[in-house]
Structure 1
Amino acid sequence: MNYTTQEFMVSACSRLIKDNECVFIGVGIPLLAGVVASKIHATNSVLIYEAGGVGAVSRRLPWSISDNATTDNALVATELWRVLGDVQRGFIDVAVIGGAQIDKFGNLNTTVIMGPGNSYQKPKSRLPGSGGANDLASSAKRVLIIMKLEKRKFVEKLDYITSPGFITGREAREEFGLKGGGPEAVITNKCIFRFDPSSKEMYLDELFPGVTVEEVKSDVGWELKLAEDIKTVNPPTAKEIEIMHKIDPLGVVLGSKSAQGNQSFDEYYEIMKKCYESIALLL
């Protein structure tokens, strides 16, 4: 079967979501992963969006976390402060997040990229910041991280710690009083990393088909540890891919296309009509 990198990442992430879990997701690949899981093996899971939609069965692909589609057929349409309060109270089983940089202990940076000679006040790039990611990384029972594997992203030292992973390793999370379990896996476009239960350091656990260990190591900015038995990730199934494309018929996420732009009203109407008609087949 032919499949794209995006389809592979959605599939790999969705399989880590368990039935009966409260799943905190964003848009993009995390959203597709959550919906695929809820339609195949985690049919009793509850999807939660940061803006307050709980248990939505969206009628089209949401463009953002505050899109009205995130409350379609929802169990509850509440507010951001409420769902993040539930995160801090320990009610969220698994959260799916990403970042611009990650280190070997799963700490994430979504705040600034410094660059040589730059400072926090005048960085090379200023990023969106935490949003709800710090709450999720600190308090969710499990955290799944999705990132593209690149050496500039997988770094020895972060320019800024926005969201904590295992901080400095071992018992550091407990020493800082964080209630969540920390990151469980990092899903990339080439492999899946997991964390050593003792040292809490990231290690290579599974490879995508056709990817070599040396290829992965060359994209990591530290001396990467390896599992004793490195496995191969099973590719997406036909059913998983079918569901993905019914959720995202225009390829906004899967094909890196944009359904938003300078369309006329009639063109935009046809885009929305196709989205609603496609996802209706899943409802």
Structure 2
Amino acid sequence: MRLILAATLSLLTLPAAACGPDSDCTVAGDRTYRYYVPTDADAPVGAFFHAHGYRGSANGAMGNQSLRAMADRLGMAFVALNADAEDWNLAHHPRNPSQSETTEPVYVEAVIEDIATRIALDRGRLIATGFSAGGMMTWTLACEMSETFAGFVPYAGTFWAPSPATCPTPPATLVHIHGNADSTVPQEGRAIGGARQGDLHRVLETYGSAGGYGAPAPVPSRDDMRCEGRENAGGDALVFCEFDGGHSYSPARVEWAIEWILARL
């Protein structure tokens, strides 16, 4: 009996299964993610949560050395989220355009709780970001989980239409980055099967109006982007940055946006 009890207690005290940049961490049943922490990062460490594009993966994102180098420079953990299929399970997505709800915030919350058992996580310095379909994921998190993150950097993607008129959580600081000649995810959106990408400018107007963003927000200049921002009474900023070009991703632009958000804390 003592041997059985000792074995049971040892199982209860086992650390979380090892995982990281080269192997999946499992949460919420069968969902996964990967993470990387710079060796010289000061604890507790902030983190940026990257949502990949259509048909991407956490493994593919983690293999992007530019993102790892960005984590090194920022001194932040890099968390690569992973969709449960080819794309994120978002409201009105092409696999089910009539779907009005998303389950992804439950997954992201599970990721945060899990990684907090693995590293000393600074929950006051969490940033959500993503490209293309991952930008759509990021906008969804901004709407559904604004109080969990210090800010959001969606890149070349917004909601699937119809975009929400209001959000269940308070307004957030958000920097949206988009090319002016993007034909994959045009700023005005386009049809994908029975679904349609949202109109970025309509989303910015709706989110800005609901969040009370009115006063101009000072945004530092960057040579390869034109940025305009507005602030609300709570100090949250809504910024749109446009660059000349198409559906192309630049970690340097994301890094700039993250630094700007963190400097405002």
Q: Give yes or no for TM over 0.5.
A: no
| TM-score (structure 2 length as normaliser) | 0.31
| TM-score (structure 1 length as normaliser) | 0.30
